[in-house]
Amino acid sequence: MTKTVHLAVYDTFSDWEPGFATAHINRPLWHREPGEWQVRTVGATKDSVVSMGGMRVTPDLTLDELSPADSAMLILPGSATWESGELNAFAEKARAFLAAGVPVAAICGATFGLASAGLLDGRKHTSNAAEYLAMSGYSGGEGFVYEPAVTDGDLITASGTLPVDFARAILGRLNIFEPHILEAWYLLYGKNDPAGFFTLAEYEESRAAATA
């Protein structure tokens, strides 16, 4: 059965922030169960949007069509419009996901949107800076953790400058890789350590031999 992760898209969404996560969710090479995962985009409407990097994306479905029951996770990237309240509908969808026990992953400006909606109150979380979130007027400042990415139950938050750490938290929460493969993946992409590459290559070879 295919499991779907939904990526929220809106004008000026920061395309690099979820990129490591979505690429390796869609790429089955090192998955526990290849072919089990896919990514679909969700927008306020089905009108195309343009990312901060100038990429035009046409959403696969709308927020109204998205049900937590049909999703394994909602990923919310940053954008230039979270602080204005323009994306409140996405924060409300995140509220519905969390209430249903379906994970939400937010990075950069999206953490500000969730803070404004009260969704970080009572949860451990992070963002670009504690002072940044404080500007939202939220009441959850005591839960701020100075880490690249923080997982608290069904909520993942991360700094916008650390997309690899964000991806590691997402891949780990979804249990897509075996633990030692996730560790090797992070060594390669997060630490530029060639030891990670060789572990992943050996894993590929062993999988290929097992299916030969």
pLDDT digits (tens, 9 = 90+) for 119-139: 999 999 999 999 999 999 999
What is the average pLDDT across 143-161? Answer: 97
Task: Show the domain range for 34.
Answer: 3-177
Per the residue annotation, which of 108, 110, 115, 150 is the catalytic one? 108
Whether the pLDDT of residue 94 is over 90: the answer is: yes
Q: Clarify whether residues 37 and 126 are in a common domain.
A: yes
Question: How does residue 6 score in pLDDT terms, banded at 50, 70 and 90?
Answer: very high
- To the query of whether residue 110 is one of the catalytic residues in this protein, the response is no
What's the total number of domains in the chain?
Answer: 2
Q: Clarify whether residues 198 and 211 are in a common domain.
A: yes
Q: Clarify whether residues 80 and 120 are in a common domain.
A: yes
Question: How does residue 208 score in pLDDT terms, banded at 50, 70 and 90?
Answer: confident
Question: Is residue 120 a contact partner of residue 157, using CB atoms and an 8 Å limit?
Answer: yes
Quick one: which of 93, 88, 60, 97 has its CA closest to 173?
A: 97
Residue 75 CA to residue 126 CA, distance in Å, equals 15
pLDDT digits (tens, 9 = 90+) for 179-192: 999 999 999 999 99
What is the average pLDDT across 136-146? Answer: 97
Question: How does residue 1 score in pLDDT terms, banded at 50, 70 and 90?
Answer: confident
What pLDDT, on a 0 to 100 scale, did the predictor assign at position 21? 98
CATH number, domain with residue 113: 3.40.50.880
Q: Clarify whether residues 87 and 144 are in a common domain.
A: yes
Q: What average pLDDT does the structure give for the chain?
A: 97
Whether the pLDDT of residue 201 is over 90: the answer is: yes
Quick one: which of 133, 140, 135 has its CA closest to 118?
A: 140
What is the average pLDDT across 152-174? Answer: 98
Q: Clarify whether residues 137 and 195 are in a common domain.
A: no
What pLDDT, on a 0 to 100 scale, did the predictor assign at position 211? 79
Q: Clarify whether residues 87 and 191 are in a common domain.
A: no
User: SS in 3 state form for the chain?
Assistant: CCEEEEEECCCCCCCCCCHHHHHHHHCCCCCCCCCCEEEEEEECCCCCEECCCCCEECCCEEHHHCCHHHCCEEEECCCCCCCCCCCHHHHHHHHHHHHCCCCEEEECHHHHHHHHCCCCCCCCECCCCHHHHHCCCCCCHHHECCCCEEEECCEEEECCCCHHHHHHHHHHHHCCCCHHHHHHHHHHHHHCCHHHHHHHHHHHHHHHHHHC
Q: Clarify whether residues 184 and 170 are in a common domain.
A: no
Q: Clarify whether residues 171 and 188 are in a common domain.
A: no
Q: Clarify whether residues 98 and 191 are in a common domain.
A: no
Q: Clarify whether residues 123 and 200 are in a common domain.
A: no
Q: Clarify whether residues 138 and 208 are in a common domain.
A: no
Whether the pLDDT of residue 212 is over 80: the answer is: no
Residue 44 CA to residue 56 CA, distance in Å, equals 15
pLDDT digits (tens, 9 = 90+) for 25-53: 999 999 999 989 999 999 999 999 999 99
Q: Clarify whether residues 121 and 209 are in a common domain.
A: no
